[in-house]
């Protein structure tokens, strides 16, 4: 067939296998990976740069790694870390709780609710966070006492403002309320992104309105809400360092106090940096699993978790080193990727493997 | 009203193998003078329609003739400009009330709150052209959702019924699959099971097979055909003339927001009286 179709051509171009007789010999030639000289040069350059950074980190005594390691688990530093975590958690709950309410208000049919939600975002996005924090801390100046009761009517419970809005209270209010303004927009965008047909289907089934939002719309909105939200929470985590203006003992303020005393500024800043890095890592891992969870309805099969991928990669590598066939219990999609790797010894382990056959046909197919 | 309807069917759920849920008595749909405009575009111009209990009505017509809008007005997904639809004498979306004082006291149709409309909708099943299954829920959860949250029925009982419904549409083994893992025909059959789960007196189908590959159309039409035989009142908007001929008691032909012709299926499809109907049928065949 191949000979018949190529017959009218005067002659195969040099280097291009054309004659039908070569086909079988060709199928037996070993496959060698393509060369990428540019990639090698770039890799070498980056490796040298990395080595320079590593060597300076290790050899420059000014980093004072012994001081860093000493203070990394210092009791007051750990307390600061815990304070930062608490601030972030409470502010995130307030921020996203209130943010969701604001988003639903903005989407409601009442003009008053819409405008209040809009005005809230306008105000809290316009005023700098540091200014808001100081304002909340000085709430007692405006309202020395807070009371619970009927509006314009009797009051049942009265407390001193300073008892409720202490440093932690002011910090959480400032962070949470300003976060709500941003989260509202994120949640609103998520809800708007859900197909209109979903609202209609829920309405046509007679599902109550609150349940429609909670069970049908919000879980689908989460798919777009989660990535941006984790971004916001990471911002919030680092944003807690602004609370140092209230002299609240979170991580950044704590290391500041310590280096104020012992003058080891850089190592203590490093201590804080390492902790922020660790906390952000935890959030990033959480993000991965949250995204995976909310992808349930959107993907046919969920991607493997990093743990699964590591386990499978190790299994494949072990099989390669030992020259054994690839393990059979791996998912087919992953195996296909592993077989394509040029290090896989498919030719030695099992000659009749489907992948080899597929590659052969592919090659002959290219000759036609 | 809904409770009366569901009381008898709820009893035998404790049986070891839940029988296929008994078909509820079909409702009597009456549509009077329904009109709807979007801006200056008149989509429906005073449509009258009567579907007796257990009857199957197929609505045919070119696109843009107002068929889908008619269905959406019947279950009040959209508000009509004039006219109303009533199921078993209960006007959908409105309540008859007396309002005003003294000489101006008169009978009015008071718009119902969304909450009351949602309650009315549990008597009307709706099957969409694009299925609109909830993608984050499994097939079973899709079917179970409305009876539990809208009708407040016990979950265990509803789940047993839902499995029976899925079996009835031939998807007993797909209960735990999510919509994205199903073919279009399977998704539409789950959507039909979901609509049946609230035991509606009336089922509305809005072009249920238009989004399907040709070879999947048959399985969905087969399920609808079965429903037609056991007494639910059905209104089906479709382009499947063959289905209309086999299953419909009445065929309604619509054009430009009006009912042009209606009558027994054999008559309208076999010897259409109106030239517009004839032209349409010639083109579709």
A280-313 residue pLDDT tens: 999 999 999 998 888 887 877 777 788 888 888 8
Amino acid A21: pLDDT? 55
Q: How far is CA A23 from the centre of its chain?
A: 50
Reduced to 3 states, what is the DSSP secondary structure of residue B87?
Answer: strand
**Cα dihedral B49→B52→B58→B61 (10° resolution):** -10
Say which residues have a Cβ less than 8 Å from residue B105's Cβ, sequence separation at least 6. B98, B99
Show residues of chain A in contact with B181, CB under 8 Å. Answer: 300
Taking only the tens place, the pLDDT of each residue in B243-257 is 999 899 999 999 999
Going edge to edge, which strands form the sheet with B41-51?
B41-51, B29-38, B82-87, B90-91
Q: What is the mean pLDDT of residues A268-283?
A: 94
Amino acid A23: pLDDT? 63
Strands B29-38 and A155-160: unpaired
Show residues of chain B in contact with A298, CB under 8 Å. Answer: 135, 180
Q: Which two tokens stand for residue B15?
A: 């049986």
Which residues of B have a CB under 8 Å from any CB of A? 75, 77, 114-115, 118-122, 124, 126, 128, 130, 132-137, 145-146, 149-151, 178-181, 194-195, 198
Q: Which of A118-127, A137-146, A277-286 has the lowest mean pLDDT?
A: A137-146
Strands of chain B, DSSP E: 29-38, 41-51, 56-60, 82-87, 90-91, 94-99, 106-111, 124-127, 202-206, 233-237, 250-255, 258-264
Q: What is the CA radius of gyration of chain B?
A: 19
Distance CA B112, CA A73 (A): 64
Show residues of chain B in contact with A294, CB under 8 Å. Answer: 136
User: Distance (Å) from the C-alpha of residue A207 to the closest C-alpha of chain B?
Assistant: 5
Calculate the average pLDDT of chain B. Answer: 88
Of the partner residues A204, A294, A297, the one whose CB lies closest to the CB of residue B75: A204
Amino acid B267: pLDDT? 92
Whether the pLDDT of residue B149 is over 80: the answer is yes
Cβ of A197 within 8 Å of Cβ of B126? The answer is no
| Number of cross-chain residue pairs from A and B with Cβ atoms under 8 Å apart | 79
Of the partner residues A209, A216, A299, the one whose CB lies closest to the CB of residue B134: A216
Domain boundaries for CATH 1.10.3720.10 within chain A: 65-294
Taking only the tens place, the pLDDT of each residue in B189-236 is 999 999 999 999 999 999 999 989 888 898 999 999 988 887 889 999
Show residues of chain A in contact with B194, CB under 8 Å. Answer: 205
pTM tops 0.90, yes or no: no
Whether the pLDDT of residue B269 is over 50: the answer is yes
Q: What is the mean pLDDT of residues A10-32?
A: 63
Reduced to 3 states, what is the DSSP secondary structure of residue A234?
Answer: helix
Reduced to 3 states, what is the DSSP secondary structure of residue B45?
Answer: strand
Amino acid A20: pLDDT? 53
Distance CA B134, CA B131 (A): 9
Helices (runs of H) and strands (runs of E) counted in chain B: 10, 12
Amino acid A306: pLDDT? 81
Task: Tally the C-alpha atoms within 13 A of residue A302's C-alpha that lie toward its C-beta.
Answer: 17
Reduced to 3 states, what is the DSSP secondary structure of residue A74?
Answer: coil
Q: Which two tokens stand for residue B185?
A: 């025909």
Whether the pLDDT of residue A8 is over 60: the answer is no
Show residues of chain A in contact with B75, CB under 8 Å. Answer: 204
Nearest to A218 by CA among A205, A234, A229: A229
Burial class of residue A217 (count of CB atoms within 10 Å of its CB; 0-12, 13-18, 19+): buried
Distance CA B271, CA A242 (A): 82
Q: How do the residues of chain A divide into helix, strand and coil, expressed in percent and rounded to 5?
A: 75, 5, 25
Selected residue with higher pLDDT from A176 and A147? A176
Pick the CATH number of A65-294 from 3.40.190.10, 3.20.20.80, 3.30.70.360, 1.10.3720.10: 1.10.3720.10
β-bridge partners, A157: A148
Taking only the tens place, the pLDDT of each residue in B152-182 is 999 999 999 999 999 999 999 999 999 999 9
Is the torsion defined by CA of A263, A267, A271, A276 positive or negative?
positive
Whether the pLDDT of residue B140 is over 50: the answer is yes
User: Distance (Å) from the C-alpha of residue A216 to the closest C-alpha of chain B?
Assistant: 7
Contacts 24+ apart (CB under 8 A), B108-117: B109/B84, B114/A209, B115/A208, B115/A209, B117/B76, B117/B92, B117/B93
Cβ of A206 within 8 Å of Cβ of B132? The answer is no
Distance CA B127, CA B208 (A): 7
Cβ of A204 within 8 Å of Cβ of B136? The answer is no
- For Cα atoms B27, B28, B33, give the angle at the middle one, nearest 5 degrees: 135
Taking only the tens place, the pLDDT of each residue in B31-57 is 999 999 998 999 999 999 999 999 999
Show residues of chain A in contact with B207, CB under 8 Å. Answer: none
Distance CA A221, CA A232 (A): 16
Cβ of A203 within 8 Å of Cβ of B118? The answer is yes
């Amino acid at each position: 067939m191949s000979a018949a179709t190529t017959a009218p051509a005067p002659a195969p171009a040099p280097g291009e296998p054309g004659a039908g007789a070569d086909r079988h010999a060709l199928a037996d030639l070993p496959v060698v990976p393509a060369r990428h000289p540019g990639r090698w040069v770039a890799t070498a350059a980056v490796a040298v740069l990395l080595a320079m950074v590593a060597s300076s980190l290790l050899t420059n005594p000014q980093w004072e790694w012994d001081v860093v390691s000493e203070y990394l688990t210092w009791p007051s530093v750990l307390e600061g870390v815990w304070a930062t975590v608490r601030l972030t958690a409470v502010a995130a709950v307030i921020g996203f709780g209130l943010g969701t309410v604001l988003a639903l208000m903005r989407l409601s049919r009442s003009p008053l609710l819409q405008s209040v939600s809009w005005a809230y975002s306008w105000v809290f996005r316009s005023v700098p966070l540091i200014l808001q924090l100081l304002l909340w801390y000085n709430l007692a100046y405006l309202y020395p006492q807070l009371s619970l009761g009927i509006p314009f009517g009797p009051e049942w419970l009265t407390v001193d403002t300073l008892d409720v809005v202490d440093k932690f209270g002011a910090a959480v209010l400032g962070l949470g309320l300003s976060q709500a303004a941003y989260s509202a927009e994120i949640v609103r965008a998520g809800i708007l992104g859900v197909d209109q047909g979903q609202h209609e289907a829920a309405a046509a089934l007679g599902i109550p309105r609150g349940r429609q939002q909670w069970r049908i719309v919000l879980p689908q909105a989460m798919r777009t809400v989660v990535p941006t939200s984790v971004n916001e929470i990471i911002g919030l985590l680092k944003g807690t360092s602004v609370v140092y203006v209230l002299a609240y003992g979170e991580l950044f303020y704590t290391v500041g106090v310590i280096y104020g005393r012992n003058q080891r500024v850089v190592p203590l800043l490093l201590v804080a940096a390492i902790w922020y890095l660790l906390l952000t890592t935890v959030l990033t891992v959480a993000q991965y699993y949250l995204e995976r969870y909310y992808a349930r309805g959107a993907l046919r099969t969920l991607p493997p978790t990093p743990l699964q991928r590591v386990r499978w990669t190790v299994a494949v590598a072990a099989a390669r080193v030992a020259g054994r066939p690839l393990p059979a219990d791996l998912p087919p999609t992953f195996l296909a990727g592993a077989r394509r790797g040029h290090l896989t010894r498919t030719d030695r382990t099992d000659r009749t493997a489907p992948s080899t056959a597929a590659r052969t046909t592919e090659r002959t197919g290219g000759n036609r | 009203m809904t409770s009366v309807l569901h009381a008898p069917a709820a009893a035998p759920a404790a049986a070891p193998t839940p029988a296929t849920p008994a078909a509820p008595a079909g409702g009597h749909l009456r549509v009077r003078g329904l009109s709807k405009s979007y801006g200056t575009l008149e989509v429906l111009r005073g449509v009258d329609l009567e579907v007796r209990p257990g009857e199957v009505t197929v609505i045919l017509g070119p696109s843009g003739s107002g068929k889908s809008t008619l269905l959406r007005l019947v279950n009040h997904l959209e508000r009509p400009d004039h006219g109303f639809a009533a199921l078993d004498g209960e006007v959908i979306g409105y309540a008859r009330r007396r309002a005003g004082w003294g000489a101006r006291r008169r009978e009015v149709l008071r718009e119902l709150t969304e909450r009351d409309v949602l309650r009315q909708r549990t008597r009307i099943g709706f099957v969409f052209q694009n299925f609109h299954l909830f993608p984050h829920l499994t097939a079973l959860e899709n079917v179970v959702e409305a009876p539990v949250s809208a009708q407040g029925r016990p979950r265990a009982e509803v789940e047993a019924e839902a499995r029976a419904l899925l079996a009835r549409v031939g998807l007993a083994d797909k209960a735990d699959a999510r919509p994205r893992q199903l073919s279009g025909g399977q998704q539409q059959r789950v959507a039909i099971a979901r609509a049946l789960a609230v035991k509606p007196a009336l089922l509305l189908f809005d072009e249920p097979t238009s989004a399907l590959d040709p070879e999947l159309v048959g399985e969905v039409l087969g399920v609808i055909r079965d429903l037609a035989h056991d007494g639910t009142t059905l209104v089906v908007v479709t382009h499947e003339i063959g289905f209309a001929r086999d299953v419909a008691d009445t065929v309604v032909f619509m054009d430009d927001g009006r009912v042009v012709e209606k009558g027994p299926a054999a008559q309208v499809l076999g010897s259409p009286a109106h030239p517009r109907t004839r032209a349409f049928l010639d083109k579709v065949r």
